[in-house]
């Protein structure tokens, strides 16, 4: 009897164990399948969307015959504008004093802002600054219904390869951002057998380029306009250098037109693919493995990174949702416009200096900063330029193209105070042919203004690698 009872108990035990093993195996199988599906989904590449490469962004309907002429343009800070601006600056209401013991932690230090306004009124030489900007050759041409402003400078050196290079800026800037590096890029350099013909364009709605009255002009569409500009100038193949929103537009260009772009250099490298976001989160489990130990603090701990982004991205959220509302205030008050732009340019030039009255802006030359603000004020383009934030998140084509890797050889330079940092193993999700990557312990977001020599050195070095890469590919 006991033996039968024992056998019966054993059978029950084995039966239950089999059920548990089957259940566990099912869970493991489901988990494996789920993990495989997630991995497949994360690494899957969507099909490129069909886009109208000649979409009309101008006022009214597209005419039967377009104006394709290229006209010489001259920058003019005219007396009427200067007089009106100075009257508004003189008549601004007294600024609310900063709190006791607070420098720039709450935003612009108003005592320091007073100094900037006084300089803008009394020492900033509008005519001389316009003259300096006009030392380059400026043009306008109508692309897809919008007057696009650009600088075009041809090198004087002989006996060298001349490579066309398109420079694209971000917010709140314009082609003015590149005026220090243009002569460096167009001049002969030892050990290099090439030099650049530079085209520095104002994005539509920025600087002296016309904005649109139609919704949908997102970074993808801007990339198409910039590509069509280069075709208008006779360049079927060219190189790209860009930062900030210009880098986003350029990233879409190298994805949409990989056969037309010979190399992409960026000082704001970033992969927006979903798999990259997952990798960034997984990297937080072992930061010293995920990132070179010298640069761990640029991305991890994520709590610190997200805290910084939350604190400094309030303007981003406003401009990505309701840019026209803040635009009313900024278009009406030059003092307010200066406060808004100076504060943002300062923090991304050195965010460790919020405990100073200048909040980081003294890493840039004040005349350069005021050139940027004056151009925005002159052209009343704070609204049209800020709308890029809203348009970038409103259209599915942007996310689709973000998730498509590009074969174009790419070079990244990471300056210390850039807004975001990604290590190479994440950047390669978007840029598998990352031929050059340098991470520096200096510099900030506006590299062409803050560290022009360092930026140009890296552009030349990267381009030599682009040439090698393309030569091997074409063998």
- By annotation, the residues acting in catalysis are 244, 389, 445
Give the pair of three-digit tokens for residue 36.
């495989």
Question: Packing angle between helix 382-392 and helix 314-321, nearest 10 degrees?
Answer: 90
Tokens linked to 75: 């920058």
Residues 369, 349: Cα–Cα separation, whole Å: 12
Alpha-carbon Rg for the chain, nearest whole angstrom, is 27
d(CA 463, CA 472): 14
Name the helix (H) or strand (E) containing 438.
Answer: strand 434-439
CA–CA separation, 142 and 212 (whole Å): 12
* Residues 381 and 206 sit within 8 Å (Cβ to Cβ): yes
CA distance 206 to 200: 13
Phi, psi of 146, rounded to the nearest 5 degrees = -115, 135
DSSP single-letter state for residue 41: H
Q: What is the 8-class DSSP label of residue 274?
A: H
- DSSP code string of 242-269: E-HHHHHHHHHHHHH-TTTEEEEEESS-
Do 453 and 184 contact (CB within 8 A), yes or no? yes
Which residues lie across from 138 on neighbouring strands?
73, 151
Contact 362, 352 (CB under 8 A): no
């Amino acid at each position: 009897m006991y033996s039968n009872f024992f056998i019966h108990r054993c059978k029950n035990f084995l039966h239950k164990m089999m059920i548990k093993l089957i259940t566990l195996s099912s869970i493991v199988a489901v988990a494996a399948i789920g993990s495989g599906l997630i991995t497949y989904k994360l690494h899957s590449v969507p099909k490129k969307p069909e886009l109208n490469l000649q979409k009309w962004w101008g006022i009214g309907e597209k005419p039967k015959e377009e104006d394709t002429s290229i006209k010489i343009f001259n920058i003019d800070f005219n007396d009427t504008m200067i007089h009106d601006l100075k009257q508004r600056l003189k008549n601004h209401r007294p600024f609310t004093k900063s709190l006791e013991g607070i420098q720039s932690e709450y935003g612009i230090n108003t005592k320091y802002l007073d100094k900037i306004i006084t300089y803008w009124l009394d020492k900033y030489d509008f005519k001389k600054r316009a003259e300096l900007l006009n030392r380059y050759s400026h043009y306008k041409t109508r692309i897809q219904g919008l007057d696009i402003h650009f600088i075009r400078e041809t090198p004087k050196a002989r006996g060298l390869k001349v490579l066309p290079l398109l420079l694209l800026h971000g917010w709140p800037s314009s082609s003015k951002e590149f005026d220090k590096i243009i002569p460096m890029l167009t001049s002969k350099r030892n050990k290099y057998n090439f030099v650049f013909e530079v085209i520095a364009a104002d994005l539509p709605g920025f600087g002296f380029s016309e904005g649109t009255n139609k919704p949908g002009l997102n970074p993808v569409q801007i990339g198409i306009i910039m590509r069509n500009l280069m075709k208008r100038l006779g360049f079927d193949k060219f190189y790209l250098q860009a930062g900030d929103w210009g880098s986003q537009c350029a990233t879409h260009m190298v994805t949409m037109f990989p056969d037309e772009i010979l190399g992409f250099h960026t000082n704001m490298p970033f992969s927006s693919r979903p798999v990259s976001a997952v990798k960034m989160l997984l990297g937080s489990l072992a930061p010293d493995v995920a990132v070179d130990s010298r640069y761990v603090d640029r991305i991890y701990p994520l709590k610190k990174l997200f805290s910084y982004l939350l604190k400094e991205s309030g303007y981003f959220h406003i401009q990505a949702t309701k840019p026209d509302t803040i635009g009313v205030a900024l278009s009406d008050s030059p003092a307010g416009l200066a406060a808004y732009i100076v504060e943002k340019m300062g923090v991304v030039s050195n965010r460790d200096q919020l405990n100073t009255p200048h909040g980081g802006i003294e890493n840039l030359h004040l005349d350069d900063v005021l050139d940027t603000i004056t151009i925005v004020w002159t052209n009343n383009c704070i609204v049209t330029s800020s709308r890029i934030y809203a348009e970038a998140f409103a259209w599915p084509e942007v996310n689709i193209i973000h998730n498509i890797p590009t074969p174009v050889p790419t070079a990244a330079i990471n300056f210390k105070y850039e807004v975001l940092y990604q290590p190479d193993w994440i950047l390669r999700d978007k840029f598998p042919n990352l031929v050059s990557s340098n991470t520096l312990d200096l510099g900030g977001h506006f590299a062409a203004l803050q560290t022009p020599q360092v930026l140009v050195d890296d552009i030349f070095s990267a381009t030599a690698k682009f040439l090698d890469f393309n030569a091997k590919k074409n063998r």
